[in-house]
Structure 1
């Protein structure tokens, strides 16, 4: 147990990411150990957003992108190419397969500051396992991608983890219409400008990612 007085609390400084432009407008200036959940139906832009976000976050530190669902695939390669990820070469590593202990060992050895798990449902990440991750790495940021049903995380684990996250982002038609961030912002985030033409659960011809 730790106790802190009012004045000490008020004067305490927190280490944050200095987000700018659309990122700040939507997500504010999150602490460097923020937790975020990104959820939506297939074909609406979850992976496209995650790759785009990984590129932006790489300007602040190393990113581990855990591609449990798509693996090392052509569809993920296309997203990497579309987002010009070569500009952050060496700062983002894409992982596939492996168990939770394998992931923990990789994070520990790689020095990654941000971890993206795509997806919670495919990996079968439980609430208790998520607690292990954030307890093991209290200074790192975690972004969890999840499937959805009725505009909410599909699984009970996803619903539980949503409550534990600082930023909650529902993706539909290549937009995060109402991000909910404890750090401010909360304006709509546009993942793809043509996304408004995409019907719910449909797969646009340009994209073959989720």
Structure 2
């Protein structure tokens, strides 16, 4: 337990990510160890937003993206191509599958400042495991992707973790209509203005994946 007086609290400074533009408008200026729950139905833009956000977070340091649900797949590759992730090659590492214990070890060995877990439901991440993550790595930002049902996180673990997160974002039709952030902003975020089902599933030229998965 630690005590702090009013004056000391008011004078305390916090390390934040200097978000700009649409990111600042929607999510404010988050602390460097912020926690975010990003949830929505299938096909509404969760992966697109995650890749877009991973690219943006690479401006502030290395990013680890644990792709439990889609793995190293064509659909994830398409999102990588659409968002020109080659511009941050070497700053974003995608990892496929594995256990919670392996995730802990990878995070321990990495210098990543931001960790994505996609998805909570596929990985079956529990509340207790989430608590272990944020306690073991208190200086890292965690962005958790989850399934949704009727406009809310689907699983009880996701619902409980939502209360522990600083930013909560329901993805709907490639938008976040009402972001909820403790850091301000909270304006609608447009993930992909002209997105539709046909566009999302369009075919792209094959990409040599190793060029994007370099350390």
**TM-score relative to the length of structure 2:** 0.92
Structure 1 counterpart of 2:198, from 191, 196, 205 = 205
Give 1:151's aligned residue. 151
Identify unmatched segments of 5+ residues in structure 1. Answer: 199-203
Give 1:112's aligned residue. 112
Distance in structure 1 (CA, Å) of the matches to 2:168 and 2:97 = 26
- Residue 101 to residue 62, structure 1, CA distance change in 2 (3 Å): same
Give 2:173's aligned residue. 173
RMSD: 1.0
Superposition misfits of 4+ residues, deviation over 2 angstroms = none
SS in 2 for 1:115: strand
Question: What number of residue pairs does the alignment pair up?
Answer: 202
SS in 2 for 1:36: strand
Distance in structure 1 (CA, Å) of the matches to 2:183 and 2:114 = 17
CA contact (8 A) 1:43 1:208 kept: no
**TM-score relative to the length of structure 1:** 0.95
SS in 1 for 2:81: helix
Distance in structure 1 (CA, Å) of the matches to 2:200 and 2:145 = 18
Give 2:131's aligned residue. 131
Give 1:201's aligned residue. none
SS in 2 for 1:205: helix
Q: Which moved more, 1:35-44 or 1:98-107?
A: 98-107
Deviation, structure 1 residue 128: 0.3
SS in 2 for 1:206: helix
Identify unmatched segments of 5+ residues in structure 2. Answer: 203-215
